[in-house]
Amino acid sequence: MPNSSRPFRLWLDRMAGRSMAVLTGFACLIVVLMAVGLYWKSRPILESKSLGELLFSEAWYPLRGQFGFKPFILGSICVTGVAIAIAVPLCLLTAVYLAEYAPRWIRNGSKPLIDLLAGIPSVVYGVWGILVVVPMVAHFASSLRLTTSGYCVLSAGIVLAVMVAPVILHVTVEILRSVPREFREASLSLGATHWQTIKHVILRKALPGVIAAIVLGLSRAFGETMAVLMVAGNVPKTPGSVFDPAYPLPALIANNYGEMMSIPLYDSAMLLSCLILMIIVLLFNILARLVLIQAEKQVQ
């Protein structure tokens, strides 16, 4: 009887493998279909304007037929860069404390709070940014004798850093805790201090996972819309400093898609901005993957 059921179990195993392969291929195909659809809808503006003019021009005057995406691309990069620069050091140091130094009750008690931060709607972060962060940044700028309304790159970066921090922190803590205890014991037995063990053994072993956590936060930050839209200023001009307003690509799409569609090429320009955003996120992920592969080689 067991022998007679073996071919059936093998057939089920093969069918399960093929089914998962089909579903994986379908998930990848969705991304390709999205990119193809966006490109197809963007063809009118790509055929009437050169790609260099669209990407590197700062002129954004839809009524005159001028669609320069440079301010929006650089605005997205600046806001995301500020957010990552703030979030990564804080999250890494906090993760080291929670994973290596904190008592069990602090570590267990902090998990629900981190999960709560990750689940707060982005519009709530946006309101918090308007009520707290924007006045704080405006006051800080005035103390430096700089003029700003507070709706600027720095405000958007601070709000975005708070939003992506739970994602980076949660993953980093789990990665650090997953490093085998034998590595710690071996390092301590050779006379290394606790901090030296963390710095030269644990962080080195966990480096690929930490990079993956940062990439996850970066992808979330670059595509965030509502909170950034509420505090970035939304001025279609390339920011010259962190106290200047910015107009990120997601905010452009959220603010304008569905409006003024009677303007020639406007609809195509909006869909092209979606395609540009998708390509930039893809390039970030590819670059991060290359860095991750290099880090894994160094660890090995």
List, for residues 5-30, the tens digit of each pLDDT value. 677 778 888 888 888 888 888 888 88
Please give the pLDDT value at position 267.
83
Alpha helices in 178-265 (DSSP H): 181-189, 194-197, 203-223, 226-231, 249-256
What per-residue confidence (pLDDT) applies to 1? 46
Give CA–CA dist 156/56, Å, rounded. Answer: 23
Question: How buried is residue 13: exposed, middle or buried, by Cβ count under 10 Å (0-12/13-18/19+)?
Answer: exposed
Please give the C-alpha separations between residue 198 and each of 172, 282, 293, in angstroms, as whole numbers: 13, 32, 22
Q: For residues 159 and 86, is the Cβ–Cβ distance under 8 A?
A: no
pTM: 0.83
Look at residue 60 and give its three-state secondary structure: strand
Query: Rounded to an integer, what distance in angstroms lies between the CA atom of residue 170 and that of residue 178?
Result: 13
Residues paired with residue 79 on neighbouring β-strands, in sequence order: none
Phi, psi dihedrals of residue 265, rounded to the nearest 5°: 70, 0
pLDDT digits 0-9 by tens, 245-260: 988 888 888 887 766 6
> What DSSP designation does 62 have?
G
Q: Report CA dihedral (106, 107, 112, 118) to the nearest 10 degrees.
A: 120
From first to last of its 300 residues, the chain has per-residue pLDDT tens of 455 567 777 888 888 888 888 888 888 888 889 889 888 988 888 888 888 888 888 888 888 888 888 899 888 889 989 999 999 999 999 999 988 888 888 888 888 888 888 888 888 998 999 999 999 999 988 888 888 888 999 999 999 999 989 888 988 888 888 888 888 888 888 888 888 888 888 888 888 888 888 887 887 787 777 788 888 888 888 888 889 898 888 888 888 776 666 677 888 888 888 888 888 888 877 777 777 676 666 555
